[in-house]
Amino acid sequence: MTTENEFYDLEAVPPGHKSGFVAVIGRPNVGKSTLMNQFLGHKVAIVSPKPQTTRTRIRGILTRETYQIIFIDTPGLHKPFHKLGEVMVATAARAIPGSDVILFVVDVSVLPREEDRMIARMIRERTQNPVILVLNKMDLLPPDRVKSHTEAYWELMPDHAGWMMTVATEAVNLDKLLEMIVEHLPEGPRYYPSDQITDQTEREIAAELIREQILRLTRDEVPHSVAVLVEEFQERENGVVYIAANIYVERESQKGILIGKGGRMLRRIGTAARQEIERMVGGRVYLDLWVKVSKNWRKDLARIRWMGYRPD
C-alpha cells in the first residue's frame, strides 16, 4: 500500500516486479543508518557512536532486476528536550503510515527500554502493514541472555511478520533479512532510475559529511548543537569542486572549541570531511569552512526549518 504518490513508473520492469517503501525505525544508536548503508553498499547516511546522529528522513534506493526497495532511514525516536528534538520525532513518526514494510530495529544486547516500548506502541497505532523485528548487535549479546532478551522484544511486537538477529556493522544475516523484506513487498513499478541510490543531492550529503566529522572529533554538548549549511557547491574550470559551508553552533564557547587553538580543530574537521567528500564526488575538493553562532537555534522552529530540518 504505497502512499508516496508523487512518484511514477520510470522504467519497464519484468512481470511480478516488487517495490515499496521500507521505514527503518528505532531508538537512537541502535544501528539504523549502518543497516541501510550496508544494504546499499554506499554511505548515504552518516554514522557515529553518538545518539541522534540522523536528523532527517533519508531515502536509500536498492534496485535489483526483480525488485526496488526505498529504505527510509529516520531519526532515532526519543523523548525530545527542545524543538529540534520534536521535529526529529515527528519526522520519524510520519514515515510509519506511508511505508509498505517497517523494520523495527533494536539493540538486542540490552533489554527493552521505555523508548522501545513507546516505539512499539506508535507502530501498532499507525500501521497495519508488516513489521519485521531486527534484533541488532547480536555479537554483544551474552549466550545466557539470548532467550530472555529476544522474548522481551517479541512481547513488544507480538504480531510481527518475522524477526532476524543481525550485526549491521559486519553485515551478518543481512542477506536473510533482505529476503524477508522482499517477501513482504507488494508488486509495483520502479519509482527511481535503477542507478540512483539516494534522493539526496551532493550538496546535502556534503553538509552531512562535514557534520559527521564534527561528531567524530568533538564531544560533550558541541556535536548536538551543530548544524551545517552548504552555501556554495560548484565545479570550477580547473576541475576542483569548491564548497563553502557554514557551521552553526549555539554559543561562543562552542565556536571556540570547534575552531580550536590556532584553528587546529577546524583544520582537522576540514581535512577529514574533504577526504570523505572527494570519495563521493570522485575528484578534488576545496573545502572552505566558517563557524558562526546562532544562539539557541534548536529552540526556534523558524531557524530549525531554515537549517533544513522539517517534519514534512
Give the CATH number of the domain where residue 263 resides: 3.30.300.20
Q: Is there a single domain that holds both residue 44 and residue 179? A: yes
Mean of pLDDT values over 66-87: 82
Contact residues for 168 (Cβ-Cβ < 8 A; gap 6+): 31, 34, 35, 38, 136, 137, 174
Burial class (CB in 10 A: 0-12, 13-18, 19+), 203: middle
Domain-located, residue 191 = no
- Which one is predicted more confidently, 10 or 248? 248
Strand 241-249 and strand 285-293: pairing?
parallel
Within this chain, do residues 41 and 87 fall inside the same structural domain, yes or no?
A: yes
Instruction: Return the CA Rg of the chain.
Output: 20
Please tell me whether residues 94 and 220 are part of one structural domain: no
Residue 81 pLDDT grade (very low, low, confident, very high; cuts 50, 70, 90): low
Name the more confident of 272 and 46: 272
Beta bridge partners of 111: none
Q: Residue 69 corresponds to which cell in the numbers above?
A: 526497495
In-domain check, residue 13? no
Instruction: Work out the pLDDT band at 74, boundaries 50, 70, 90.
Output: confident
| Pairing of the two strands 67-73 and 58-64 | antiparallel
pLDDT digits (tens, 9 = 90+) for 156-179: 998 888 999 999 999 999 999 999
Domain count within the chain: 2
Which position has the higher pLDDT, 8 or 130?
A: 130
pLDDT at residue 5 is higher than 60: no
Mean pLDDT of the chain: 89
Residue 197 lies in a domain: no
| Residue 11 clears pLDDT 70, i.e. is over it | no
Alpha helix positions (H), 15-110: 32-40, 83-95
**Per-residue confidence (pLDDT) for residue 6, from 0 to 100:** 47
Q: Are residues 164 and 28 in the same domain?
A: yes
Contact 109, 165 (CB under 8 A): no
| SS3 call for 75 | coil
Separation of alpha carbons 269 and 285, rounded Å: 14
Q: Are residues 282 and 245 in the same domain?
A: yes
Mean pLDDT of 266-293: 96
pLDDT recorded at residue 10: 55
Question: Alpha carbon 115 to chain centroid distance?
Answer: 18
> Same structural domain for residues 135 and 161?
yes
Q: Is residue 218 part of a domain?
A: yes
Average pLDDT over residues 299-309: 86
- Domain ranges, residue 291: 202-306
Within this chain, do residues 79 and 136 fall inside the same structural domain, yes or no? yes
121/213 same-domain check: no
Answer yes or no: do 136 and 250 share one domain.
no
How would you list the strands of the sheet with 285-293, edge to edge? Answer: 227-235, 241-249, 285-293
Looking at 128, 152, 184, the residue that finishes a domain is 184
What's the pLDDT at 158? Answer: 85
Residue 190 in any domain: the answer is: no
Band of residue 312 on the pLDDT scale cut at 50, 70, 90: low
Sheet containing 67-73: give its strands across. 58-64, 67-73, 18-25, 101-107, 131-136, 162-165
Q: Are residues 150 and 29 in the same domain?
A: yes
pLDDT value for 190: 94
Do 54 and 164 belong together in one domain? yes
Give yes or no for residue 197 having a pLDDT over 50.
yes
- Does the pLDDT at position 52 exceed 80? no
Q: Is residue 242 part of a domain?
A: yes
Query: Does one domain contain both 28 and 146?
Result: yes
**Cα–Cα distance measured from residue 291 to residue 146, given in angstroms and rounded to the nearest whole number:** 47
Whether residue 191 has pLDDT greater than 70: yes
The pLDDT of residue 1: 43
Identify the H or E element spanning 291. strand 285-293
